[in-house]
Homo-oligomer: A and B are copies of this chain.
Amino acid sequence: MTGRTPAPAELAAGIAAGETRALARAISLVENGHPSARELVRLLYDRTGNARIVGITGAPGVGKSSLISALVGRVREDGLKVGVISIDPTSPFTGGALLGDRIRLSEHFLDPGVFIRSMGTRGHPGGLAEATLQAVLILDAAGMDVVFVETVGAGQNEIGVATAADTIVLVLMPGSGDAVQALKAGIMEIPDVIAINKADQPLASALRTDVRQMLALGGGPTPAIALTEAPSGKGVPELWAAIEAHRASLEAEGGLEERRARNLAAEVHAIASARARRHLENAVSDDKELRRLLDDVRRRKLDPLTAVHEILGKVFHIDDEDDADAR
């Protein structure tokens, strides 16, 4: 299995048999945006749906990776297999780390029950949303009991790509002014669980009070808040308990299947849109006539909205006036 790219069927069989090497090869195909990654997902899809998917989101620097590392340790105590997918370009998992971080994380690299990989953005026609979904489904099919997905932001943008997670954890730290403001303003989605990390810092409990008051004003279901210190592991068992409690309550109320259906539909839309966008950009850069439209816009001979209309008609054969009128 070295050198050549193995056939999807061969890889799928290896993954189903629990071979770490097959799993690593499969994730590499995903990372590189290799077309056979889609075939692999097709072959493995009926083996998925068993893993608990946990999204860990928050601004760069709040300590998401260290917290995930501590959570992995906690989950391994229960004998569960764990996958970690990082799509945060600043994550130590991804390579943007200080040496100390990498050493601290390395214990898990040696544990056969843990699989950690990062996602780049190279060459994914469906963007990061597609790469992430592929990686999560493959880890799920490989028998991981828990999959953590580390993202920046809370589903607002390509980098903070919305995770098809059963539970979304927002990590804050004292000084996370912008994130708290965005929550207050209703711009950031309310997460299922909040971890206030670096809880040894003086303003941690003030932040908790602030967040609690803000959530109480919202009137919706209020997420559990855990105070954590990733390096010492303090508060990490409580955080994991809160994640498990959230998922258990979803399951008890029959909400898990509904949430997963909604997540999957949203992912299909996001991936289709990203691919449509890629197709559109390729079409414009490959087509002299379409490029001339952009030139005309620049020279103020053609307005940009007419250019959009012509591009959509030519590339997708749609008359978007219909959509405008149909509202």
A109 within 8 A of B: no
Residues 238-264 (chain A) with a chain B CB within 8 angstroms: 257, 260-261, 264
Q: A300 — which chain B residues lie within 8 A by C-beta?
A: 45-46, 48-49
The answer to whether A41 and B303 touch across the interface, beta carbons within 8 angstroms, is yes
- Which of B123, B273, B297 is close to A280, meaning CB atoms less than 8 Å apart? B273
How many angstroms from the CA of A157 to the CA of B277 in the assembled complex? Answer: 15
A215 within 8 A of B: no
A126 within 8 A of B: yes
How many angstroms from the CA of A11 to the CA of B270 in the assembled complex? Answer: 37
- Binary flags per residue of A274-296, CB closer than 8 Å to B gives 1, else 0: 01111111101000000001100
| B-binding residues in A (CB < 8 A) | 33, 35, 38, 41-42, 45-46, 48-49, 59-61, 89-90, 96, 123, 125-126, 130, 133-134, 137, 152-153, 156-159, 173, 175-179, 181-182, 184-187, 257, 260-261, 264-265, 267-269, 271-273, 275-282, 284, 293-294, 297-298, 300-309, 311-312, 315-318, 320-321, 323-327
Further contacts, 14 of them, CB under 8 A, given A38-B309, A125-B324: A38-B306, A59-B177, A60-B181, A60-B184, A89-B187, A152-B182, A156-B158, A264-B304, A265-B298, A273-B277, A276-B318, A279-B312, A316-B316, A316-B318
Across the A-B interface, the 7 shortest Cβ-Cβ residue pairs:
A178-B178, A45-B303, A59-B178, A157-B157, A175-B177, A61-B181, A90-B185
